[in-house]
Structure 1
């Protein structure tokens, strides 16, 4: 049993949308195939992975550094103790040989992308959905019902309040009970008008979350908090720079309602510092660590251990990214839900074909691996890379 090849292609996921910090006109993503010599159900097992939106494709790091470490390793060192499957933890350790700690840069994205593909292959070899494999390994009861919310509400050339309202209404009509929009890319007066417009549109049919994408300094953050706290928001997300724990902690004095952050923290040590110094409140706030951007599920398991040490429940985690990997983690390890992009970043976002959102939840299909084979537009692109 061995990994015979690892292939990467950098694909455009460009769009004219923007948030408070970046536009997506030149955004890319890495798609990876981990090809094995194992066969299941008449087909060679190939694990697939890709990085979440908002961080660019990592083809250079994948091809020039991490791919070769895996392929050059003794194949036996990449297997579990029984020799019956690959060991994601051993493969992760192989990738991270000769890597200094700290200063994650973009390598956390490269490693996380390969890690996703490895777990997909491992679950396929077991002929199990990944969420059931994860639950079994932890001695937990898998719950295939997962809360999902609809992310959108980006700034877009020529997009007025009517178009924003129509977008949010479309999510509610598709079964979502929480919708999210961007703020911080316009004046506070314009953002307040946009928020009130959406709240009037959804009119209690759903809750609204807002996302500043780390845009605000302390003075601006306080001004927005004073404006936002008059509205019944689901959360106020990523208020300031993700590493400015002092700013995040200060916001508890001005914003008593739920806050969310963590999508741009890329290790369990970063998570620990957020919980130590960021003033996050385990009874109401949300953590958004995204395994695809933060060294993969192997590291995410360490992050969950950190949460437990600090008295946090995994139910307070709703990962960023809108991908099926986090859906499997949510269903298998008891997270609070997952982000979803109903209309953006296709074919990578969304759910397998035929999976509907009902009252803000989806039911995980019983597909081996992560379930990419159930999404026809995505698996076509993936198999083009592998075959």
Structure 2
């Protein structure tokens, strides 16, 4: 059993939308195909990976550092103890050789792309969906038959008025979502409050709406927003300040007793641990949004879950960023609290298997080997084209 080829390409996911910090007009994604000599149904097993939206394609890091280390490794060093499958933990250690501690930056994104492809291949070689493989290895075989998902949208579009914002959210409700999220911080507070109230008018309860500032605010502004948001009793107030400003997050709890969410822009066990130690987060209500596709992959995410357990946090408080099938498998297999979803944006990478509906903000997973990319036709077509090069 060996890896016979590794192919990577860059795919644009540009869109005329913006949040409080960035626009997505130049956004790109790395897509990777890991070709093995294992076979299923007479075809080589190929593992696929990509990075989540919000970070650009890490092609240079993959090409110059991480893929050469993997290619140079002896085939035997990449296998598990049976010799019949790849070992994601051993592969992770090999590609991270000669990497200095700290400075996680974009290298965590590159490793996350590769790690996703490895786990996809491992589950395919084992002949089972990734969520079942994870449940068997780490949860005594227990997995969730369906996963909570919420629709992330409400971006700032050019010339988008309140009526258009309401129509967007009605569209998500019609798709089966009962919880939605919208952006704040990209407009004055008075305008954002009008946008929030417009969305609340079409919802049954305020806890159906979460808001996301994408790290835009300093403490004073974050606090002003907190006091203004508190009476609405929203689902959560997300990433009010810089993701590494743990003091801001801790002080904000004095102004906001409702649930808060953060973590999507922390890319390592060390940063996640510092968040838990110093940011004043509350394990009975707050939400952790670490995204394995951006943070060194599932190998690192498993370490983060162990750390959270040591600090008294339940995996049910984890609802990963990214809206992709990898995190959906983690949620089902490891008992996380749910997964983000991006209906209609960041395609074909956002969203889940074709033909499986969202019902009251829950979705099921396909019963096919691997992560399930083959059940999402547009994405699988793109990935197949890369594997066939």
TM-score normalized with structure 1 length: 0.99
Q: CA deviation at 1:177?
A: 1.3
| Residue matched to 1:106 | 106
Report Cα offsets for 1:259-295 as digits up to 9, x if no partner.
0000000011111100000000000000000000000
Whole-Å separation in 2 of the counterparts to 1:243 and 1:44: 43
Q: CA deviation at 1:6?
A: 1.1
| Residue matched to 2:335 | 334
Q: CA deviation at 1:205?
A: 8.8
Q: Is the CA contact 1:172–1:205 (under 8 Å) kept in the aligned structure 2?
A: no
Whole-Å separation in 1 of the counterparts to 2:297 and 2:125: 19
| Residue matched to 1:375 | 376
| Residue matched to 1:39 | 39
Report Cα offsets for 1:290-320 as digits up to 9, x if no partner.
0000000000000000100000000000000
| Residue matched to 2:224 | 223
Q: Is the CA contact 1:168–1:202 (under 8 Å) kept in the aligned structure 2?
A: no
| Residue matched to 1:97 | 97
Q: CA deviation at 1:232?
A: 2.2
Q: 1:350-361 to 2 correspondence within 5 Å?
A: 350-361=351-362
Whole-Å separation in 1 of the counterparts to 2:237 and 2:207: 16
Gapped regions of structure 1 (runs ≥ 5): none
Q: CA-atom RMSD, angstroms?
A: 0.9
| Residue matched to 2:313 | 312
Q: CA deviation at 1:63?
A: 1.2
Q: CA deviation at 1:238?
A: 0.3
Whole-Å separation in 2 of the counterparts to 1:211 and 1:279: 19
Whole-Å separation in 2 of the counterparts to 1:157 and 1:202: 24
Gapped regions of structure 2 (runs ≥ 5): none
Q: Is the CA contact 2:53–2:322 (under 8 Å) kept in the aligned structure 1?
A: yes
Tell me the secondary structure at the aligned position of residue 230 of structure 1. helix
| Residue matched to 1:252 | 253
| Residue matched to 2:142 | 141
Tell me the secondary structure at the aligned position of residue 232 of structure 2. coil
Q: Is the CA contact 2:200–2:206 (under 8 Å) kept in the aligned structure 1?
A: no
1:65 and 2:61 correspond: no
Q: Report the more deviating stretch, 305-314 or 203-212.
A: 203-212
Q: CA deviation at 1:105?
A: 1.5
| Residue matched to 1:24 | 24
Q: Is the CA contact 2:154–2:169 (under 8 Å) kept in the aligned structure 1?
A: yes
Tell me the secondary structure at the aligned position of residue 202 of structure 2. helix
TM-score normalized with structure 2 length: 0.98
| Residue matched to 1:366 | 367
| Residue matched to 1:74 | 74
Whole-Å separation in 1 of the counterparts to 2:42 and 2:133: 21
Whole-Å separation in 2 of the counterparts to 1:311 and 1:80: 31
| Residue matched to 2:85 | 85
Whole-Å separation in 2 of the counterparts to 1:189 and 1:328: 39
Q: How many residues get paired?
A: 387
1:167 and 2:168 correspond: yes
Whole-Å separation in 2 of the counterparts to 1:79 and 1:198: 51
Report Cα offsets for 1:89-126 as digits up to 9, x if no partner.
00000110000010112100000000000000000000
Whole-Å separation in 2 of the counterparts to 1:367 and 1:159: 40
